[in-house]
């Protein structure tokens, strides 16, 4: 579901450029490029340290960008942007925590997968969710791909076919999220305040679940390649 944003997004009609018109294509393209694993021939010279530095800098830059969304949300009095920015910023530290707990060495691409998804969602609260019809589809696909990736890793580590665990996880979490949105709306109505999350109707709910499944199918199709470094004993 598209969260309710406070205020009206700017567009070309008032002489300004909508954030989605410039930022979104660049961010989506760069995120896809960075998170896509690349098999390297043994004969090809690769500066691994440089890749690590660039990836780490990109991840930190996305975290700072999320912090910027929080600041803008505070300045423009958009509680939805602030709340989702704070939650998203906290979520960007989960890969580091998982790496410590399970003694993993994670490539920056996994961190960027998370931080990029969280940033796109947070910045959407500043206008793109209202201004850009496809923004919600992109964020649902990316978010569900993260859930699917966790299910894929769990299934692989237990020697199971990840297909149904991945699809079950994304659909189950999608339904859970829609339920959260409904409860938030009901609570906000009772308290007489503007809800941070809002439902736009049955058709929108179905659309959200469809793109949740799309994210899951991407993981089913490419999870072996995207997440292979977590299983082959090499640094991912």
Each residue's pLDDT tens digit, 139-163: 999 999 999 999 998 998 889 999 9
Query: How confident is the model at residue 199, as a pLDDT?
Result: 66
Give which of 206, 150, 146 is closest to 178, Cα–Cα.
206
Contact indicator for 177, 147 with CB cutoff of 8 Å: no
Both tokens assigned to 109: 């691409």
Q: Compute the CA torsion angle 64, 116, 3, 203 (nearest 10 deg).
A: 170
Which residue, chain included where needed, has tokens 């975290």? Answer: 63
As a whole number, the mean pLDDT across the chain is 79
**Chain CA centroid to CA 181, Å:** 18
Each residue's pLDDT tens digit, 195-211: 666 666 778 889 899 99
**CB-based burial label for 76 (10 Å; 0-12, 13-18, 19+):** middle
Query: How confident is the model at residue 133, as a pLDDT?
Result: 87
Query: How confident is the model at residue 35, as a pLDDT?
Result: 44
Both tokens assigned to 69: 């969304």
Strand, coil or helix: 39 = coil
Contact indicator for 113, 87 with CB cutoff of 8 Å: no
Q: What is the mean pLDDT of residues 11-22?
A: 42
Both tokens assigned to 114: 């998370």
Both tokens assigned to 6: 């406070």
Each residue's pLDDT tens digit, 95-130: 888 888 877 778 888 899 999 999 999 999 898 988
Contact indicator for 73, 93 with CB cutoff of 8 Å: no
């Amino acid at each position: 579901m598209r969260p309710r944003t406070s205020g009206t997004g700017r567009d070309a009609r008032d002489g300004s450029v909508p954030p989605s018109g410039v930022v979104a294509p660049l961010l989506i393209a760069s995120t896809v490029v960075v998170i896509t694993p690349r098999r390297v021939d043994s004969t090809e010279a690769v500066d691994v340290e440089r890749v690590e530095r660039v990836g780490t800098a990109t991840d930190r830059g996305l975290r700072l960008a999320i912090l910027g969304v929080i600041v803008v949300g505070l300045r423009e009095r958009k509680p939805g942007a602030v709340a989702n920015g704070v939650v998203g910023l906290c979520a960007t530290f989960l890969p580091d925590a998982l790496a410590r707990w399970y003694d993993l060495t994670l490539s920056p691409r996994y961190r960027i997968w998370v931080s990029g998804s969280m940033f796109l969602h947070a910045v959407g609260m500043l206008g793109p969710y209202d201004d850009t019809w496809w923004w919600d589809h992109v964020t649902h696909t990316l978010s569900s791909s993260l859930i699917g990736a966790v299910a894929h890793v769990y299934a692989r580590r237990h020697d199971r076919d990840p297909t149904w665990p991945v699809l079950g996880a994304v659909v189950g979490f999608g339904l859970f999220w829609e339920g959260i949105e409904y409860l938030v709306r009901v609570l906000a109505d009772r308290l007489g305040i503007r809800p941070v999350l809002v439902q736009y109707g049955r058709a929108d709910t179905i659309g959200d679940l469809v793109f949740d499944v799309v994210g899951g199918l991407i993981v089913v199709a490419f999870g072996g390649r995207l997440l292979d470094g977590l299983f082959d004993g090499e640094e991912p």
